[in-house]
Amino acid sequence: MFKNLSMMTDLYQLTMMNGYFVDGTHNNEAVFDMFYRRKEGLDYCISAGLEQLVDYIKNLKFTDDDVAYLQKRGGFNEGFLRYLRELKFTGDIYAVQEGEVIFPYEPLMRVKAPLIQAQLIETAALNILNHQTLIATKASRVVHAAQGKSVVEFGLRRAHGPDAGIYGARAAVIGGCGGTSNVLAGQLFDVAIKGTQSHSWVMSYEDELTAFERFADIYPDGCLLLVDTYDTLGSGVPNAIKVFKKLREKGHKPVGIRIDSGDLAYLSKKARQVLDDAGFKDAIIFASGDLDEEIITSLNVQGAHIDAYGVGTKLITSESNSSLGGVYKLSGVYINGEFCPRMKISDNPEKMTNPGLKKVYRIYGKDGMAEADLIALEGESLKRPLVLKHETLDWKKKAVDDYTFRELLTPVFLSGKVVYQKRSVAECANYSQGELNRFWEEYKRLLNPHIYKVNVSEGLKKLKMRLLKEHSVKGE
């Protein structure tokens, strides 16, 4: 967790920056978009990480040691190295808010800055936003599967290093988790920290009952007992009930039990019955143990009696998707004051990019639910009725007249100055849940979700076709 991450970049970024400087084009303004490509399990995402990206850009500074290292390495123009000593970000950045629901191929960030500056921030922007968005999205899927039951992020021990554990916990809360086991994340981001009891506590005493009794003596109002160390139903739950009865006699209310292994569906149903029969209907059953959204969905189908989940490894590592697939692509440059759109052309349609200076609109129907997103060129206005078309199948269209809309990209930096209004993690999480509620369940289901419409405007379509035609003519 370094304060200054200016040197956290790929070598080729510095190579290109040096080239722009030597070529005299470094101060030409350029526009880059960041977006992610469609992958299974990422039909929608929850944006996260913007606050850390803002901190990175605010603190951009190449120190004397940094410049000396690059000078020693060689290959860089001396004038470029002097330029680095004074480099500060002076451009504009627009981005979606943290907690925003986003979809493949639509810009989640737009950078307009001198080419040399816009080039520099690519690596860090992708590193920061890709990771936190990925974890927030995984958390959102897990929370959705839990169907209103509490989910706690338990992954620090399995995270890919300290930063991944700390910022992953932050992202998980934005994605909907009710808290984290990570104490430092709780301190840094003012989020709830939660924990239960370890197997080592139980095993350190001569027997399970003694371990439970001592824990209850020390934590009489926070007594949640781990019952699967030896025999969940044979000793764990019966011993927990003995301790709970003593607590109740002393005027305390037991919290419940935790099951960390075994057949969670079967064990939870049997444990619920035993707890209820003993008069502890309010005692919760907390489950953990290599859980994810698919396992939680299966537990629901089996009628498991589980009140809360601790989800660790598969959440903090986003086991089903190792990366977001976010990219950062040039969409235009200014040459002699004139904006010149740029477009990547590929035999693979998914790798083609949308050129130009763009906005993203979210369209809501009269019922307040999201209808579609529209990627449009700067300056294009929305019409009524608005005709939403499939990007390549013009016959597949829908006209909406009674609608409202909002722009998804909001200003973060203007002329190098921060205009971003920092929000707490809790505010980001509440915002995200509120926006998710404006999408039909069909878009959020885990298996074969309905594909949400992301349209491109007529103006953007015409621009793409013109650039494709121009490229084809030049290629001949």
- Percent of the chain exceeding pLDDT 70 equals 97
Q: What is the pLDDT of residues 431-461, one digit of tens each?
A: 999 999 999 999 999 999 999 999 999 999 9
Average pLDDT over residues 127-132: 98
Sheet strand arrangement including 358-364 = 404-407, 358-364, 370-377, 454-456
Average pLDDT over residues 126-146: 98
Q: How confident is the model at residue 384 (pLDDT cuts 50, 70, 90)?
A: confident
Cβ neighbourhood burial of 409 (10 Å; 0-12, 13-18, 19+): buried
410-414 and 417-418 strand pairing: antiparallel
Contacts of 421 (CB under 8 A, 6+ apart): none
Q: What is the pLDDT of residues 225-275, one digit of tens each?
A: 999 999 999 999 999 999 999 999 999 999 999 999 999 999 999 999 999
Please provide residue 311's backbone torsions phi and psi, each rounded to the nearest 5 degrees: -120, 125
Find the angle CA(69)-CA(70)-CA(73) to the nearest 5 degrees: 90
Average pLDDT over residues 404-418: 97
The mean of the pLDDT values for the chain is 95
**Which of 130 and 391 is assigned the larger pLDDT?**
130
Residue 476: what pLDDT?
47
Residue 83: what pLDDT?
97
- Percent of the chain exceeding pLDDT 90 equals 90
Residues composing the chain: 476
CA distance 445 to 140: 11
CA distance 1 to 96: 24
Is the pTM for the entire model greater than 0.85?
Answer: yes
Among 101-110, 199-208, 343-352, where is mean pLDDT lowest? 343-352
Residue 375: what pLDDT?
96
Q: Is the pLDDT of residue 394 over 80?
A: no
Instruction: Classify 249 as helix, strand or coil.
Output: helix
